[in-house]
Structure 1
Amino acid sequence: MKFKFLHVSDLHLGLKIKEIDRLKYCQQALLKAFKIIKEKQLDAMIVAGDFFENDKIYREDIEFLNEVFELIYPKPVIISPGNHDFLAPDCPYDEKLLNILRFKGWQENVKVFKKPEFSFFPLDNVNIYGKPCINRQARAFDKSININPAKINIAVIHASRVNFNPESKEVWHPFEDSDILKSGFDYIALGHYHNYSEISDDSGIKAAYSGSMVPASIYEYGKRGGLIVEIVKEGGKTKIETEFVGLSDFSIKKIEISASQNMEKVKNIISNEITESDAPQDTLFIVKIKGMGDLNINYLKELFSGHKILFDISEFTKFDIERLREVSPQTTIGIFINEMLKMIEQSDDEEKQILEDALIYGLDAFAGKQITPKFYD
């Protein structure tokens, strides 16, 4: 027996990031996904929740989804709702709402888990189990499930991995790794965490988070997409292989800048990162400026206004020489500041950077802070 499918999650259709047109990129990602399903002759698409935002999705979005679902008909699209496409009376999964919108309903190949406990959709020699996010504190695997070992058994759920929960991520359907390993499922398609991770034992992979299909926040760096999962079951033994496939044309790249560097060097660093990017027009660059310096952020914003750039100045302190001069020269720290400022004013550009860093190190030392040295070419 063999079953090969595309596992995706956390598209968050309807969500916006700053000025980025995520709708366009979400639509492109879906079209790519269905093209892959057709070209690689996959058997199904499994969605592990947060496919869209309940309160930010419109009729035209639902119509678009239905059109792309039809592209792979009759191959199934199986959805286990998460905490953003929450299964509620006014959500797009609800037939009453669809009737109010005068929408004909989802394609016949779209299957949505709606029962509060695990249920399954049978597909020849495969049973696909799932349940929606309804009670956030209810454990994902709170009851044992009688599964048929003669079939390929897959579960799909939007859930939180205990002790591996990213900071500030809400807990939904918590589970322990041991729950996965003793569940009896051949593979569990997980959603909720936006970065790839997997759970495995000596026999191989047992479950995985595919990560977000398209970046859903400014902290989601690198490639985004889904997993092609192939399950082969013969003679009671199961072999699973996974392959990541990029689906998002939109990406986020982080650039770290030391505030003590001169403006020319900073400009070169940012320019080089943009030039080396595979698709700068589809990339949001997060420029994180760290430390103390006199960089003119507004000038940089204007200089690179033709690109998608956000400047993170949460760890940037403006170097204000005039305020330092106000420190009393009768104190030890005041004497140190004045002597260092004299040396800075008399230095060339190369020496200036080193001396300014030395001044900052000295001030940190006076304040009892830990000193982190910089290294120069």
Structure 2
Amino acid sequence: MARTTALSLSTLALAVSSVRALPSTNNAPKVIARGDATVGRFTVPAFAVNETNDPKVRARHTSVVDVGANWYIQAWIGTPGEPFYLLADSGAPNLSIESTLLPPEAQGDVPKYDPSKSSTAQQEPGYTYSECFGSGYCDNGVVYRDVFTVGQIAVTNMHIMVQTNNTEKSYGIRSGNLGLNIDRKGMVTEPNRLPTWFETIIPSLDEPLWTVDWHRSTQTGQFEFGFIDSSKYVGDIAYGPVTTDGGLWTIEVQGVGAGYDDANFHNKKFEVVVDTGTGGGTISRAVADLYWRGVPNAKWDDGWDNYLYPCDQVLPDFVIQLADGRKIGIPDEALRWKGENGWCATVLAVGGEDNTLWGGNWIQNFFVVFDWGNSRVGFARKSSY
């Protein structure tokens, strides 16, 4: 990397109230399967877009560590359904969308939800919201109920936070957020907090969890809900319990090694926020040192702010150990990034603090389980990259 990325986990937290209740039971959401789908288990395609170099697009990122591609899904809102690309975001609880209710001076070029064009749209009387992200972007608005469809699964009367104001115009393809964090208090709506999309579909799922399998080689992947596909990974799944209660999927790594040999494994505890709404992520210099001391011929390079190694050399797995004692590694084929003059860098970006955040650049190197029911995160070695 050309520079070190600063990280502030505190900016990810949202100040919210703790009360949640449905405004009415007469319009309760209903989960419906379409086509040959089943509500118990379903797959949603995902794709990556690298927006690092566009400052207009970066304005709406949910974190200050976006240094790579972000992963999107397609969703439909209303009747008839309008298609939108959303960031499926484990770092936030809210289902929010840009809308035609924004004043002209606040509208960018992204597709916007128009409630007047949906025969099933109904505004929730008296409900509003306000949200801010780690990048400094904020928006606020009202709450509507409408049909919300992801893949072949539709939720009727789903509460959607609809923008009426923001701090900066949005550009690119992203129209909103599908929050997937583990905050059981719900979305940040007022006067009461309303259930998130995932909370709404949990009673219909075979298991209360979802998984991520992204592929750097094709820039495509899947979110899967309600089940764990054993064909997507090899070996065991290593699990760590969620260590915070603010809604972020935060786990504690117990140690790091260069390969699975105990001689090259080092006990080192640090917390990681696993965030699908962020493009990048880092490890600290102290953590990086523990891995690279087990790699012959590696050297630190100030220009890259990272370690380099001879490009013709095979790297040992970058191995982490989670709370259950299992070790999971990123292999040589996934670690390699780019280089020059025979020296190569890896995807192991180096940042400042031990406690850190791993976004898309890290998540795509593992098969990841977000186990809502057991409040834990699982990592496994992928079947393919």
Larger radius of gyration: 1
The structure with the largest helix share of the pair is: 1
The structure with the largest strand share of the pair is: 2
User: What interval of TM-score do these two structures reach, taking the shorter chain for normalisation?
Assistant: under 0.3
Q: Whose relative contact order is higher, 1 or 2, with alpha carbons under 8 Å and at least 6 apart? A: 2
